[in-house]
Structure 1
């Protein structure tokens, strides 16, 4: 139970709102802006949204609280947190650090695409209504050599510079700009989309449940989306929780963060689906919603270039708020465990991640025929291993660890600041983390492997 670096003063969040915005920023990412509208479109709209909200409480809140409590109690990185309580469980934290590392290596490539499209939007190059032409443009970008790697480098540099500033001066300060900016832009885009002729059909589709569409597949998709949307199982919330002061109301924070994340996802749905319906596009178009469908939609709108620019700034903000948390998980580990200063750790990791991202980018173009797993190049392999194996396995073991190894009584003691805070749902949370969470995540895990 030895503490790591006991004499080193640990950085802390400057304010409660700073932590909430940073943690919400970690959860809010590209998945909120394309995957939630896509999953809702694919799964009958309102029925999916209703199930999503139920699972958000049962699984999202449960794991969010477990991770934050574990981080605040130990004041350590993801690996150190497990080790402090049970030395043999340190490897579970290692799964989270590895997941964050792998995800950021290819997430940065996608972030680079977003910057490239922001440049295209500013120049008016996206003012095209033909989805086929836009599809060819996107295909040309991702299968290229130097251009996507250059923009991947720009995105990684932006992430690195924010994390270099530390918790208060870098991550907290940037999220106080990124998150309110993100909210303002997604609200404006949602209002614009909802006022388009024919948009009512999309609004009804998203908000009014059609229970005839409710199947076990919809429930499983909602379960998977909640889990992956909240950045659970990768040590982000353990790491961010470790910078919390002891007087923070964790149950309150663990409630607000998933609600912010879901609010952004719902607003994104109101920005995407009404516009998609208004212009007769397919609501289940997948990642192409961002890079193909939406540019075609904007090109048909009055002030389309302005809204296209706003949209890609919004997507960039969402991507950055997540990427800085992924890099911070790795930096925190290196600083705590290897005793390397933040500047050296951040620059070193940023450079390594940039280099690893190069084969991820090339695997979608010149290296497309080189496979690591069957039919999967670097990009798809890293995505599969992190999203389908490391994250659900990390989440499952987190529930077992907090529920049965450390014990929910100890976790509740920490969450209530030694009994000084009221936590009315303590008994329900204890049941959820011990029984519901592990079963739900095991289902996600098995389904993701199949």
Structure 2
């Protein structure tokens, strides 16, 4: 596809909502709250916002620079700008990372669909042990999770097949505002519960005694994963930006939306949890095991309201998951359609089929099929570990080195300032962060998660 023929987002709001949708996902609504609960509440949030500014935004802008300048899929973008040097491997690794994440992320996304049905049908009424047993029974079922995975990938496929403007941008313009409306409504309901003030205080009143190196490094990791850095999504979406798009300004807006959703997710969950006496450090089980019981108890006097809140909550989760799945799917779709010179719809079909296969095996691997394990872990856990704890930090680190030390400085400055049409007041701070601060922070994250520091 030539430069003139390449698709573009049709509006500024489309750019922001689509790219923010890429960043906003289960990492904001699921991972952020339990990370906050385990790391001291407001103290973690302060560290997180600091890390978004110091690490997240420079890395995001760097992917924007590469994507818009190369005007191609992630793999070809690094090949174009890096020539036949080893740097081109970064692009292929980014595509592989996005593809693998699409497969296993669709499994968890499918769980959200199941919980919408469970909330509507009243299957989540019972004591905490009943709700735990319900989740375990569903997770280990050989068919139900697979069906949910296929449905969520089919929805993603339909959107991707319609193209950038009519598919991705149009869907984002509908889904992101809906996500915010649902989120705000549940936040209001949660904050009105008796005893909710303790949860609000936990989330917004910092206890600086809880700030330590573990909290800071945990916040660094969360900021990195929350913004979809290193997955190829941002680079691919940037290839659809117009030359008038303000890269730094867009990154700031997306970072603000992403952080706002994460904090609102905390305001949605913790006031309700404190209201019924649930500990804030319930961990990864918070969404599928702890919260159904929270909704049931919090609105026990009016069960219908509790059911309605649960339905809205899991609809919110499904929307967040879907916006991220769309961007992840697009990475592989753009790669196949451009590299194999096939139609977009055919490329999307191939990706959907392959990701469905990955999702099926990942789902079965946590459903008790021991043959689908590697190194004593389920395929789901292996893919999660390899992509999240190895590939993402490596791609992020190499991208910063590539932009900061390898690309011509004038090329980076031109993209940052839209070829002189913008002031670029923070360019020096940005390039310093990309050259020094970001690589050091990413190395610290990488070493910390393996227990080296």
Same fold (TM over 0.5): yes
2:312 pairs with 1:310: yes
Query: What CA distance in whole angstroms lies between the structure 2 residues aligned with 1:311 and 1:187?
Result: 11
Q: 1:378 corresponds to which residue?
A: 379
Query: What CA distance in whole angstroms lies between the structure 1 residues aligned with 2:118 and 2:353?
Result: 27
Which range is displaced more, 160-169 or 403-412? Answer: 403-412
Q: 1:100 corresponds to which residue?
A: 98
2:211 pairs with 1:214: yes
Query: What CA distance in whole angstroms lies between the structure 2 residues aligned with 1:296 and 1:408?
Result: 55
Query: What CA distance in whole angstroms lies between the structure 1 residues aligned with 2:235 and 2:66?
Result: 6
Q: 2:431 corresponds to which residue?
A: 430
1:408, CA displacement in angstroms? Answer: 4.1
2:340 pairs with 1:338: yes
2:172 pairs with 1:175: yes
Q: 2:241 corresponds to which residue?
A: 244
Query: What CA distance in whole angstroms lies between the structure 2 residues aligned with 1:65 and 1:376?
Result: 35
Query: What CA distance in whole angstroms lies between the structure 1 residues aligned with 2:414 and 2:142?
Result: 53
1:307-362 Cα offsets, whole Å, 9 max, x none, are: 01100110000000000000000011112211111010001110111012111001
Which residue, 63, 76, 81 being the options, matches 1:80? 76
1:442, CA displacement in angstroms? Answer: 1.0
1:148-186 Cα offsets, whole Å, 9 max, x none, are: 111111111011111011100011001111100111111
2:50 pairs with 1:48: no
Q: Is the 8 Å Cα contact of residues 14 and 173 (structure 2) preserved in structure 1?
A: yes
CA distance 1:407–1:276, shift in 2 (3 Å): farther
Which residue, 142, 160, 164 being the options, matches 2:161? 164
Q: Is the 8 Å Cα contact of residues 408 and 430 (structure 1) preserved in structure 2?
A: no
For residue 14 of structure 1, give the secondary structure of its aligned residue in structure 2. coil
2:23 pairs with 1:27: yes
Query: What CA distance in whole angstroms lies between the structure 1 residues aligned with 2:91 and 2:116?
Result: 36
Query: What CA distance in whole angstroms lies between the structure 1 residues aligned with 2:123 and 2:367?
Result: 22
**Count of residues paired in the alignment:** 444
Q: 1:109 corresponds to which residue?
A: 107
1:116, CA displacement in angstroms? Answer: 0.8
Q: 2:326 corresponds to which residue?
A: 324
1:413, CA displacement in angstroms? Answer: 1.0
For residue 151 of structure 1, give the secondary structure of its aligned residue in structure 2. helix
1:232-254 Cα offsets, whole Å, 9 max, x none, are: 01111100000011111111101
1:371, CA displacement in angstroms? Answer: 2.2
In structure 1, stretches of 5+ residues that fail to align are: none
1:107-138 Cα offsets, whole Å, 9 max, x none, are: 1111111111111111122233x111111100
1:95, CA displacement in angstroms? Answer: 1.0
Query: What CA distance in whole angstroms lies between the structure 1 residues aligned with 2:438 and 2:319?
Result: 31
Q: 2:264 corresponds to which residue?
A: 267
Q: 1:141 corresponds to which residue?
A: 138
1:192, CA displacement in angstroms? Answer: 1.0
Q: 1:393 corresponds to which residue?
A: 394
For residue 377 of structure 2, give the secondary structure of its aligned residue in structure 1. coil
CA RMSD of aligned residues (A): 1.2
2:417 pairs with 1:416: yes
Query: What CA distance in whole angstroms lies between the structure 2 residues aligned with 1:121 and 1:240?
Result: 35
Query: What CA distance in whole angstroms lies between the structure 1 residues aligned with 2:269 and 2:376?
Result: 31
Which residue, 253, 275, 278 being the options, matches 2:250? 253
Q: 1:90 corresponds to which residue?
A: 88
1:8, CA displacement in angstroms? Answer: 6.2
Q: 1:126 corresponds to which residue?
A: 124
Which range is displaced more, 6-15 or 358-367? Answer: 6-15
Alignment of 1:350-361 (within 5 A): 350-361=352-363
CA distance 1:30–1:418, shift in 2 (3 Å): same
Query: What CA distance in whole angstroms lies between the structure 2 residues aligned with 1:393 and 1:17?
Result: 31
Q: TM-score, normalised by structure 1?
A: 0.97
Q: Is the 8 Å Cα contact of residues 127 and 305 (structure 1) preserved in structure 2?
A: no
1:7, CA displacement in angstroms? Answer: 6.3
Query: What CA distance in whole angstroms lies between the structure 1 residues aligned with 2:19 and 2:272?
Result: 30
Q: Is the 8 Å Cα contact of residues 34 and 286 (structure 1) preserved in structure 2?
A: no
For residue 283 of structure 2, give the secondary structure of its aligned residue in structure 1. coil
Q: Is the 8 Å Cα contact of residues 79 and 94 (structure 1) preserved in structure 2?
A: yes
Q: 1:405 corresponds to which residue?
A: 406
Q: 2:56 corresponds to which residue?
A: 60
Q: Is the 8 Å Cα contact of residues 276 and 294 (structure 2) preserved in structure 1?
A: yes
For residue 288 of structure 2, give the secondary structure of its aligned residue in structure 1. helix
Query: What CA distance in whole angstroms lies between the structure 2 residues aligned with 1:79 and 1:338?
Result: 13
Query: What CA distance in whole angstroms lies between the structure 2 residues aligned with 1:126 and 1:116?
Result: 11
1:19-38 Cα offsets, whole Å, 9 max, x none, are: 11011101011111121111
Which range is displaced more, 280-289 or 237-246? Answer: 280-289
